[in-house]
Structure 1
C-alpha cells in the first residue's frame, strides 16, 4: 500500500492560512528522490474511488520529461473549450477576416447566463472584439463566447481544431445550452490535446508570433486561480484557462516554474470528475504543486 502523501492529506481549507512555502517544503520532502511518474502515480492512487482524474504534463525544455494518465480520454470541456475558440479568432485576425478593434453591437437576444459580465450590459452596448476576446478568456464570459461561436461558426472552429492535429476535441454546442447537454451534445477535450494546443501557441506555431504573444498575455490574466495556481509559490506566472460544470472541473495551462533565476516552463492540463468542485480544485492544485516541484529542480 502506498502511504498517503503529506500534502494529499491536508484539508480543503489549508492554504488559506498556511503560506505556500510550507506546502512547497512539504512537497519537496515527499517527492525527494521520486520520478515525476512515481510522484503523480502515488498521488492519484490515493484519491477517492469516485474521483476520475485525467492528467497531461510535459516540460517545455525537454519533452521526455512528461507524464500522462487518462490523457486521451475525452472529458466534458466546460469553459476550457474557449481555448480553441480563441485560436480560431486569432487565425481570422491573421487572415484579415477579423479586426479586433471593430465594434460589436450587443443585443439582449445574445445574452446568456452563467459566468461573465456582458449579461449585465445594456441593450446595444458597443464592445470591441478585442474586449470580447478578453472577456471570454479572463472572465470566462459565456455571452462573449457565444458571440464568437455564432460569428466564427462551429464548423469552422472544429475544422481549425482538426487542422492542428487534434482529433478528439470537439465543439458541439454553445455555452449554457442545457437542453443540448441533457441530450448528450457535450463539448469535449482531452488533456493531451489541450497541452498540444498550448504548446503550439507557446512555440508560435499558429496564427502569428505577435498574436501568440497576445494569447499568452490574455491567459496570464485569467481571474480564476482556484486550481492550477492555488498552491504554487507566490508570483508564479500561469497562462491558463479553467472550466467548471457541476460534474467536472478542469484547468489547462503553461506554468512558468523557476529554479533560481532560470525559467523552467511546463505544460499542465488536469480534469477531475465525480467529486464536488472544491475537492476537485484541491486535487488539481496538489497535482500542479507536485509538477512544479519536479520541473523546478535544478
Structure 2
C-alpha cells in the first residue's frame, strides 16, 4: 500500500472503529469495505462465517449466468409453476396461480429483487446444491456454502444453515463489477438486477436518494445482512452482517456504517 493511500484510508478506519467500539458488547458485526478505484479497504470480522440469509442468492445467480454462458441454460425458457414448489416467506410467486408460466429470466429477477424464496428453490433444484457449492469454491470462496433450500425450518432446527462471509460476498460482487464471471453482457444484466433491489432499510437507508446501490439483502430472526456495490464518487464494495440485536437495530447499524463509508468515498 502506498503512503498516499495509507493516509487516505486512516480517517475511514478511525471513523469505523470508533463507531464499532460504541456498540453494545453483544452486537456482532462482520464488515468488509473496499474502494473499486484504489486500494483503500477496511475489515472487521470479515472472515467470520455467518448465517447468510438471502445473501446466499448472490452465488446462485452467478451459477445461473455461468450456465447461460456455457449454453446449457436459457433465461427465456419457460417454467410452469406448480403448487408443491411454493413456499412462504419473502416473494410473490406463492400468490401466483398453479400452472402459471414464468420465464427463468423473470424467476431470476424475482429471486434477487423480491428475494423470492419460491424462485430460489426452483433454481436450487434445477442447478443442484452441490453444483452451486462447486461454483462457490471455483470462485475462490472457502467459507461460504449453500446447505439447504429456503424456508426449510427442519434443516434450520437441525443446524443446517447457509453461510457466507462479508469478505467473500465482496469478492463475488467485485467479480461481477469487473466482468470476471460469465460474460460482460451477463455481468451487466446481473448489475442491473442488483440495482433493482427494493430493500432500503439497510445500506441505502441514510444515503442520498440519487445514489445507486446494487445489492442483495438478507434477513433471518438472528441475522441481518446486505452486500452491495455503492456508486459513490469513488464506487465501493460494502458487505455487512449484524447479529445479536433485533432486526430494526441491525438495520440501523448497517445504515449508519454505510453512511460512514459513503461519506469517506464521496470526497
> What is the aligned length?
260
1:37 is aligned to 13
Q: Work out whether 1:141 is the aligned partner of 2:116.
A: yes
- TM-score, normalised to structure 2, is 0.96
In 1, Cα distance between the equivalents of 2:209 and 2:103? 33
* Equivalent pair of 2:117/2:150 in contact (CA under 8 Å): yes
The alpha-carbon distance between structure 1 residues 240 and 33, as it changes in their structure 2 partners (threshold 3 A), is closer
Q: CA RMSD in A?
A: 1.1
Structure with greater Cα Rg = 1
Q: TM-score, normalised by structure 1?
A: 0.86
Q: What is the distance in 2 between the residues matched to 1:121 and 1:284?
A: 33
Report what 1:193 is aligned to.
168
Q: CA deviation at 1:34?
A: 5.9
Alignment of 1:26-65 (within 5 A): 35-62=11-38, 64-65=39-40
**CA distance in structure 1 between the partners assigned to 2:261 and 2:115 by the alignment:** 25
Structure 1 stretches of at least 4 aligned residues deviating more than 6 Å after TM superposition:
none
Distance 1:183 1:77 in 2: 16
Structure 2 CA distance for aligned equivalents of residues 109 and 96 of structure 1: 29
Q: Give the C-alpha shift of residue 33 in structure 1.
A: 10
In structure 2, how many angstroms separate the alpha carbons of the residues matched to 1:144 and 1:101?
15
Of 245, 260, 264, the match for 1:290: 260
Superposed, 1:93-172 pairs within 5 Å as 93-172=68-147
Q: Does 1:72 align with 2:42?
A: no
Unaligned runs of 5+ in 2: 1-7
Counterpart for residue 269 of structure 1: 239
What is the alpha-carbon distance in structure 1 between the residues aligned to residue 34 and residue 208 of structure 2? 19
Superimposed CA distance per residue, residues 43-76 of structure 1 (whole angstroms, 9 cap, x where no aligned partner): 01101112110000000001x2000000000000
